Chains A and B, each alone.
Chain A
């Protein structure tokens, strides 16, 4: 996947206005099967896997015992003892080793499917119309974070109503050998409806505008899901012990030392990752973890990891000698029209 095909800003706007096609085949896929598959996954991740039913998808962090994040992933429940994970490309080797190690105590089989699948994401307000024109599956019945198996343009797909843009859309998992045919069919159906090819640059600015975390930025092995503002994905009371629970309970009880905040500046200068964040006395109180220009707001937006005490007071950054105040925002930065 290239950073851009034409222009990051134009690709971003096309996704908000009509639709974009992303080749996200670099993402990793893992089958988790066996009589204890559900029990194992509920031990592995922080969110409550018992809430799943066949056809339902769960977003969850996967933590170290320290409460730091190993990765964030999607859990698909295909059947009673049959689950499917989508993990981040950069973490595939680390995740597989970890998952296999943890799985040793459970009646479960872990299968690396990364090389078998390609993944195309069709995202934007016209995505449903575009994908529906290529499939007999009744997409109107597939709600957000649900999936069905079906045929799209003659290609067998797991049709997942998910995405990383904040827009409605689908992620189509399919056999790697079918990727070109499927992409060509989506482009042919989508181009007259305003669909454009979109790259990694737009994927990052879209996810940041939506307020979604990116592994290695808002969540890392040193930034827990509670610190990152993902408390809704940490089910301390789900009735099962899980990896990282003790540390996360302690963090919740003692209060986190840091938190991840989202900001805008009212200025076009991009506040890039690693920029020091200054408290109201000028001392460094944290650092920027993501930053870009919002193509929709036409101003710099970003996220920062700062001390909890400083987050309640004015924050600023110094960009090439100019002090810019950070205006904290509860994301999303723009109005989103996801279906529910």
Chain B
């Protein structure tokens, strides 16, 4: 059973978004995503300063089994990336919601997050 924290918003492509309340948000991939991928071996993230449209590819997460694109859940500008994923991508398998966050975004429009799934709807999506 996948862990789906109640305080986050979710994209159908299995990224999560945490609204920080100051116009920024943190982005990562869900427990379901890391579990489906298996052993994560490599993460490719954008540069700080990159601007992302909602649904745009912002990087790649790679496991022994497959490489998958990462999609921006909402539009924004990258203000920080988690550099520790470069040397320890496997932390995504153990801490997808905290230590293994991926991006911090300055949101283009904080109201956009309302279009994402809440925990209940995302849990339903997982079936």
The answer to whether the Cβ of A293 comes within 8 Å of any Cβ in the partner chain is: yes
Q: How does the 8 Å CB contact mask read for A249-279 relative to B, with 1 for contact and 0 for none?
A: 0000000000000000000111010000000
The answer to whether the Cβ of A8 comes within 8 Å of any Cβ in the partner chain is: yes
**Residues of chain A lying within 8 A (CB to CB) of residue B64:** 8-9, 201, 205, 270, 292-293
Check B62 against A7 for contact (C-beta < 8 Å).
no
The answer to whether the Cβ of B110 comes within 8 Å of any Cβ in the partner chain is: no
Interface contacts (Cβ under 8 Å), in number, total 39
The B52-111 residues at the A interface (CB cut-off 8 A) are 60, 62, 64-65, 67, 89-90, 93
Q: How does the 8 Å CB contact mask read for B8-23 relative to A, with 1 for contact and 0 for none?
A: 0000000000000000
**Residues of chain B lying within 8 A (CB to CB) of residue A320:** 44, 60, 67
| Residue of chain B at shortest CB distance from A9 | B39
User: Closest CB-CB distance, A209 to chain B, in whole Å?
Assistant: 13
The answer to whether the Cβ of B41 comes within 8 Å of any Cβ in the partner chain is: yes
Check A268 against B89 for contact (C-beta < 8 Å).
yes
Rounded to whole angstroms, the CA-CA distance of A7 and B93 in the bound complex is 10
The A123-176 residues at the B interface (CB cut-off 8 A) are none
The answer to whether the Cβ of B122 comes within 8 Å of any Cβ in the partner chain is: no
The answer to whether the Cβ of A4 comes within 8 Å of any Cβ in the partner chain is: yes
**Residues of chain A lying within 8 A (CB to CB) of residue B67:** 270, 272, 320
The A65-80 residues at the B interface (CB cut-off 8 A) are none
Rounded to whole angstroms, the CA-CA distance of A269 and B38 in the bound complex is 15
The answer to whether the Cβ of A240 comes within 8 Å of any Cβ in the partner chain is: no
Rounded to whole angstroms, the CA-CA distance of A87 and B53 in the bound complex is 52
A residues whose Cβ falls under 8 Å from a Cβ of B = 3-4, 7-10, 201, 205, 268-270, 272, 292-293, 320
Q: Known A-B contacts: A4-B39, A201-B38. Give 5 more (CB < 8 A).
A: A7-B38, A9-B64, A268-B42, A270-B67, A320-B44
B residues whose Cβ falls under 8 Å from a Cβ of A = 38-39, 41-42, 44, 60, 62, 64-65, 67, 89-90, 93
